[in-house]
Amino acid sequence: MPETTMIPHSRPFLDDEDYRNVLDVLKSGRLVQGERVAAFEEAFCLEMDLPGAVAVSSGTAALHLVLLALGVGAGDEVIVPSYVCTALWHAVRYTGATPVLADIEADTFNISVPDIMPRLTNKTKAIIMPHMFGQSGDMDALLNLDIPVIEDCAQSMGSHYRGQPTGTFGVAAIFSFYATKVIAAGEGGMVVSRDGHLIDRIRDMRDYDEKETLTQCFNYKLTDMQAAMGTSQLKKLPVFIARRQEVARRYDCVLREANLPLPVSKPDRGHGYFRYVFLIDSMDRFINDMGRLGVVCRRPVFRPLHDYLEQTGFEVTNRVWQRAVSVPIYPGLTDEEEETIVSSMKTLLFKV
């Protein structure tokens, strides 16, 4: 019996332009941070309509530098959602500060502003808002708390809140260009901000070579090879988002026919569908059964932070984590793969 070809949960979309851009850098002999990084930063500023951008080695590095530039350190507190990648917890701990966990909204899976409010203290120095799975959080309510907000746009590049790109609301925003993010450079990250002093501080901390003093700096540089790919990918962002939204509409039809709740897409928030996440009671069985049909599905968050830390409460996070499943959705899906996913979903979900 022939082995089933698995459709991966995530996969980057790469084309000839991406290959040429990277090859040009290789041929130039200048592989490290240089003109291509500067060009990528400039292109990013234009895309976001913001004056300042600094390219770094990862999204985690970007977040670490923003926190340091804001003066976050030992004795401070930073509020983060429990339902999120562990990178946020690590970045806060790098500074010596304490991550304070908050619960999430049941519909968008973003951090809950009402749950943040009782956790605010005189030690709270920042709130990190990850726009989960491609849909913006409630930025109006969050900004009304009058605490510096760092937008984590690792999953929301190309998404909008009230017609304005995510990443343009907070004191700063960070992006990730990991291989399976909205745009890919293999690894890499970016900080954007309207605050020129903040951008200058982050740019200074990005590397430690040829400094007049021994002020703490890091080896957080992006390479020209990565920047070349990032610049090429950035040009395709509208096409990438349109394709994700197209696939999401197909999946919506399946869930609707199966009488299951669709992922919430609020009218004031342009959903980029970095992940297509829905809730199902038999989540583990669905993931296993889809795998047997040749489709890799996953929990969209491996494990909530409060579970690692053995903290109690976080009722919404617990309910979502026990039921949330993510099915493949990315620009590189072929029509045949899309049909296989839709057919497999129908086979399983119409039995629910």
Question: In the chain, how long is the greatest CA-to-CA distance?
Answer: 68
Distance (Å, rounded) from C-alpha 348 to C-alpha 27? 50
Would you say residue 95 has pLDDT above 60? yes
pLDDT digits (tens, 9 = 90+) for 28-79: 999 999 999 999 999 999 999 999 999 999 999 999 999 999 999 999 999 9
Residue 263 and residue 224 share a domain: no
Residue 73 and residue 176 share a domain: yes
Residue 329 and residue 307 share a domain: yes
Give a yes or no: residue 80 inside a domain.
yes
* Mean pLDDT, rounded, for 190-199: 98
Structure tokens at 158: 């190309």
Question: For position 314, what pLDDT does the model report?
Answer: 98
Task: Pick the closest to residue 82 from 104, 113, 64 (CA basis).
Answer: 104
Residue 263 and residue 117 share a domain: no
Amino acid at 140: D
- Distances in Å between the alpha carbon of 217 and those of 209, 210, 212, 214? 9, 11, 12, 8
CB 67 within 8 A of CB 79: no
- The domain boundary, picked from 208, 235, 262, lies at 235
Residue 150 and residue 204 share a domain: yes
Amino acid at 87: A
Q: Looking at residue 322, which CATH number applies to its domain?
A: 3.90.1150.10
Positive or negative: CA dihedral 28, 30, 35, 40: positive
Would you say residue 140 has pLDDT above 60? yes
The overall average pLDDT reported for the chain is 96
274: Cα within 13 Å, side-chain hemisphere: 25
Residue 181 and residue 77 share a domain: yes
Would you say residue 345 has pLDDT above 80? yes
Q: What percent of the chain has pLDDT over 70?
A: 98
Question: For position 4, what pLDDT does the model report?
Answer: 64
pLDDT digits (tens, 9 = 90+) for 228-243: 999 999 999 999 999 9
Residue 152 and residue 114 share a domain: yes
Question: For position 2, what pLDDT does the model report?
Answer: 45
Q: Which residues contact 268 (CB under 8 A, 6 or more apart)?
A: 161, 162
Per the structure, the count of domains in the chain is 2
Q: Which residues contact 309 (CB under 8 A, 6 or more apart)?
A: 101
Residue 68 and residue 54 share a domain: yes
Give a yes or no: residue 10 inside a domain.
no
Residue 230 and residue 297 share a domain: no
Distance (Å, rounded) from C-alpha 33 to C-alpha 39? 11
- The domain boundary, picked from 235, 257, 285, lies at 235
* Mean pLDDT, rounded, for 250-271: 95
* Mean pLDDT, rounded, for 335-344: 98
Residue 265 and residue 116 share a domain: no
Give a yes or no: residue 158 inside a domain.
yes
Task: Pick the closest to residue 183 from 244, 251, 128, 264 (CA basis).
Answer: 244
Give a yes or no: residue 46 inside a domain.
yes
Give a yes or no: residue 138 inside a domain.
yes
pLDDT digits (tens, 9 = 90+) for 162-179: 999 999 999 999 999 999
Residue 293 and residue 206 share a domain: no
Exposure string (b/e) for 267-289, b if CB count within 10 Å is 16 or more? eebbbbbbbbbbbbeebeebbeb
- The domain boundary, picked from 235, 250, 284, lies at 235
Give a yes or no: residue 6 inside a domain.
no
Give a yes or no: residue 300 inside a domain.
yes
Q: Which residues contact 234 (CB under 8 A, 6 or more apart)?
A: 40, 43, 44, 47, 183
Q: Looking at residue 49, which CATH number applies to its domain?
A: 3.40.640.10
Task: Pick the closest to residue 79 from 131, 123, 35 (CA basis).
Answer: 123
- Domain residues for 290? 237-349
DSSP state of 133: G
Would you say residue 352 has pLDDT above 80? no
Give a yes or no: residue 97 inside a domain.
yes
Residue 186 and residue 94 share a domain: yes
